[in-house]
Structure 1
Amino acid sequence: MNQKPKIKLLEAMSIGIGGMVGGGIFAVLGLAVSLSKGATPIAFLVAGIIALITSYSYVHLSLTFPDRGGTVKFINEGFGKTVFSGGVNNLLWVSYIIMLSLYASAFGSYAPNLFSITGDQNLDSHIYSSAVIILATIINYYSVKVVGEIESFAVFVKLLILIGFVGIGFYGLFGNENLSQLSPDQWENTFQILGGGMVIFVAYEGFELIANAAPDIDSPKKNIPRAFYYSIGFVILLYVTIAIVTVGSLPFSEIAKAEDYVLAEAAKPMLGKIGFTIITIAALISTFSAINASLYGGSRVSYEIAEDDELPHALTFQLWNQPVGLLITAILTLLMCNTVELESISISGSIGFLMIFAFVNFSGFKLSDQTSGNKIIPLIGFILCSLATITLIYQQLQSNKTGIIIAGSIVFTCFIIEGVYKKSKSYRRKYPEGK
């Protein structure tokens, strides 16, 4: 019997880098600049440091509990199969849906710059967002292998273009009058910087996908830590330099005007219309591949949760050779990306993943004796993720109460659904014949 080929270090890193450099940077860069202004590179650095500290817990939990369930497994190991752990895992599935909505919204924002359908850019964006979700769903049902091939191709293309953007961009910064926007006197206050960093935290969440591949990684004791730390370190450097080039290339007024597709706009001063088109194409490829991969990941999360008996077993039902969760994930994504604004989607995603990572860090702290890990680092990660969540909520309450209401409703609903399911299951066990 042939064994499945092991995942090498570079392949494991590409899973993490591909997960992080998906659609997030294209979707949230303009939002980050609007909040943090000249300190946007610092905001990305702060968010990256929190991700890097959290990865320590993921490394030790992945080595001790290698499982394709990844985060779901770690939460259940740390908290047991309770209403709480089920609620957190439900939030993970919903957070995938939020990320899909973010990527689809980004695709819809960039696409009309190349192809106009109705002449109404707002309407066009929703048409494109919906169309790309439907197309990705069809591809997922057609072949999981094709999903992997698209992701492998997209990782190479988007990194090549983004690294080229950074290289040319740094050259173009010399003598650019907008470079002064990066000076400390253009920075927002510390609280605003932190708030901006947390809003765009979604741009880093993809590193957790490495944990799902842990059982198949070659030489795990050596390569799992390297895969997490190297991929996050690389992405921090990439994001910070992209932020420097963007803020140093365009005046804040132009960034605000092109907030939803600012990365393409930032290529104009260096490469003109050609640069704008190249970055737009990169954004479309990147967000499309991220939607493909996240649809697959989201359906697997719902399957794992149902298998662990934290959601109805009906979610393990196969529909056209895929878990029924794939279709449910796609439908909910269509609903969210067409009814919720981009900023509120980003806030909901960041709050969701900050909370999930806080609990993973707490699992790392609780299980440190089993994982042979340091207790202090996961505890620091838990405190930082918790403080970051509180900071984000407080900061957004001043400017976007709707986003906080949406995020709070999502979190509350995840735990209520789990509580109702556990209660009904307990009732059925007690009264099997409905007596």
Structure 2
Amino acid sequence: MKKKLGFYSIVLLTINSIIGTGIFLSPGAVVAKSGDKALLIYSFAAIFAAVLAITFAAAAKYVSKGGAAYAYTKAAFGDNLGFYVGITRYIAASIAWGVMGTGVVKTVLSIFKLDSSNLLLVTVGFICLMGILLAINLAGTRFLEIINNLSTLGKVGALITTIVVGLGIVLFTQVNEFGNIHTLTDATGVPLGYNMDISSWVMAVIAAFYAFTGFESVASGAEDMEEPEKNLPRAIPLAIAIVAAIYVGIVGVAMMINPQAIISTTEVVALADVFSNPIIRSVIILGALVSMFGINVAASFHTPRILEAMALQGQIPVFFAKRTDKDFPVVAFFITIGIAILLPMAFRFDMTSIMVLSSISRFIQFIVVPLAVMVFYFGRERGQALQDVKKNFVVDVIIPGIAVILTVVLLYNFSWTQQFTIVLEDGSVLPNTFAIVAMVIGYIVLPFILMIWQHMRKQTQEQMIEK
């Protein structure tokens, strides 16, 4: 028997996949958008994440195969839509992994006072990071599980320590700066969060929600988990609840101790600038580094397995599902690592542009997967879902329906113009060519070419069988 991830390791993997750089590097972005409403914004984002997490967990009980959104879509709606969701999600996840790797390298360079804009330094650091992740995965699932668990406990420990110390400071010094948030203003002199309209609320919730994403990819590695149809539906919501409590706690503490610092700091690890104590600052910086490394470990586990899942289900050559004697998907990993390295390099590590692909792919999943769960409930899938499933109308229909409605509302109110334009210092607006090209290639050109190739391959196989 090959070693597989148990329930608690799945919980830790989910937490590790969610908590990355954002809560350490830029928690002030949400505060700057919403002012004293920041905790409410994070609570709304947590509710949205919880709704989606329950939906993905419900899908996992119907489909135990790896691939996450790809497997669910294929089971519910057939090969073509499944292939499109799978390939777009795979490309976006690979690029997102490259973005996270870039973030680790640039942050480490900045912490050690090196030039984080130096393309050579970033490239060398990036390749070194990928080499370390390759070595961890080659060592087998057991070793990866240990590294994943330790990195998760490390980042969670750093955040909980920060919350406890922060609350201790407030309680023992009787100093609470939370009310000072009302005196802070934006660049135009308007108080933070003043007179927010629905669009402002939506953008703030989305900004906070991105700190919760990552749970949707965990089931990609279901083939390497013990009883995924039972453990994933319990593990994902539990992980979301833990992360939500940590996020609300850390943002609340930061706003009570030094709201000005969390918004205006120029430090790389923004959260560290809230505290003046050097020991606490060191704990936070170390936690940030562990967190960034940990989320890359998680990405190195589930991203290649999207490609492997497509191979196992016969939509791409089975060669891509080849594993080592330690049960490591070696071919899928090397292809994924190539995309994760080369595409960010092609964009000269411009993180803003290439993150558009990842963002859009998530919204596609957040509509398709809830619809798939409802299809499973009413028994109209393509015969690929598990049949002995305990169905629940609230979990399998009501909550997925709410997920679809919330996603559509967010998409409608989302500021797409900001994603595909660049505002120069003189105020002029230019199209973000890199972002537009990445979206067209990733969501139209490449899937179309691959679908034609797949169709031709299938025809060739049928002709060979006939002969």
TM-score, normalised relative to structure 1: 0.83
* Structure 2 residue corresponding to 1:265, chosen from 266, 273, 286: 273
Instruction: Name stretches of at least 5 consecutive residues in structure 1 with no aligned partner.
Output: none
Instruction: Name stretches of at least 5 consecutive residues in structure 2 with no aligned partner.
Output: 185-190, 380-388, 423-430
- Where do residues 202-281 of structure 1 align in structure 2 (5 Å cutoff)? 202-208=210-216, 211=219, 212-213=221-222, 216-217=225-226, 224-250=232-258, 255-258=263-266, 260-266=268-274, 268-269=275-276, 271=277, 273-281=278-286
- Is the contact between residue 78 and residue 367 of structure 1 (CA under 8 Å) also seen in structure 2? yes
Aligned to 1:62: 60
- Is the contact between residue 129 and residue 337 of structure 1 (CA under 8 Å) also seen in structure 2? no
* Structure 1 residue corresponding to 2:336, chosen from 329, 335, 339: 329
- Where do residues 353-368 of structure 1 align in structure 2 (5 Å cutoff)? 353-368=362-377
Query: Which segments of structure 1 move beyond 6 Å, counting only runs of 4 or more?
Result: 2-6
Q: CA–CA distance in 1 between the matches of 2:40 and 2:252?
A: 9
1:81 to 2:79 alignment: yes
Q: Shift in Å at residue 86 of structure 1? A: 0.7
Gap change, CA 1:87 and 1:342, over 3 Å in 2: same
Q: CA–CA distance in 1 between the matches of 2:224 and 2:134?
A: 27
| Aligned-partner residue type, residue 332 of structure 1 | I
Q: Deviations over 1:108-161 (max 9, x none)?
A: 243134424xx4232255553443223212332344432221111111111111
Aligned to 2:444: 412
- Which stretch of structure 1 is more off in the superposition, 320-329 or 396-405? 396-405
1:386 to 2:395 alignment: no
| Aligned-partner residue type, residue 27 of structure 2 | L
* 3-state SS of paired residue (2:112): coil
| Aligned-partner residue type, residue 348 of structure 1 | L
Q: CA–CA distance in 1 between the matches of 2:126 and 2:13?
A: 24
Gap change, CA 1:139 and 1:207, over 3 Å in 2: same
* Structure 2 residue corresponding to 1:190, chosen from 179, 186, 198: 198
| Aligned-partner residue type, residue 382 of structure 1 | V
Gap change, CA 1:7 and 1:335, over 3 Å in 2: same
Q: Shift in Å at residue 216 of structure 1? A: 4.9
Q: CA–CA distance in 1 between the matches of 2:374 and 2:331?
A: 35
Q: CA–CA distance in 1 between the matches of 2:4 and 2:116?
A: 46
| Aligned-partner residue type, residue 428 of structure 1 | T
Give 1 or 2: higher helix fraction: 1
Q: CA–CA distance in 2 between the matches of 1:385 and 1:110?
A: 32
Q: CA–CA distance in 1 between the matches of 2:179 and 2:125?
A: 35
Q: CA–CA distance in 2 between the matches of 1:416 and 1:256?
A: 45
Q: CA–CA distance in 1 between the matches of 2:26 and 2:446?
A: 25
> Over alpha carbons, which structure has the higher Rg?
2
Aligned to 1:140: 137
Aligned to 1:160: 157
- Is the contact between residue 214 and residue 224 of structure 1 (CA under 8 Å) also seen in structure 2? no
- Is the contact between residue 137 and residue 292 of structure 1 (CA under 8 Å) also seen in structure 2? no
| Aligned-partner residue type, residue 381 of structure 1 | A
- Which stretch of structure 1 is more off in the superposition, 41-50 or 317-326? 317-326
Gap change, CA 1:39 and 1:327, over 3 Å in 2: farther
Q: CA–CA distance in 2 between the matches of 1:63 and 1:292?
A: 25
Q: CA–CA distance in 1 between the matches of 2:37 and 2:207?
A: 14
Q: Shift in Å at residue 324 of structure 1? A: 1.4
Q: Shift in Å at residue 59 of structure 1? A: 2.7
| Aligned-partner residue type, residue 334 of structure 1 | I
Number of aligned residue pairs: give it. 424
- Is the contact between residue 13 and residue 148 of structure 2 (CA under 8 Å) also seen in structure 1? no
Q: CA–CA distance in 1 between the matches of 2:207 and 2:437?
A: 14
Q: CA–CA distance in 2 between the matches of 1:109 and 1:213?
A: 32
| Aligned-partner residue type, residue 388 of structure 1 | L
* Structure 2 residue corresponding to 1:421, chosen from 453, 456, 459: 453
Gap change, CA 1:130 and 1:260, over 3 Å in 2: farther
Gap change, CA 1:144 and 1:248, over 3 Å in 2: same
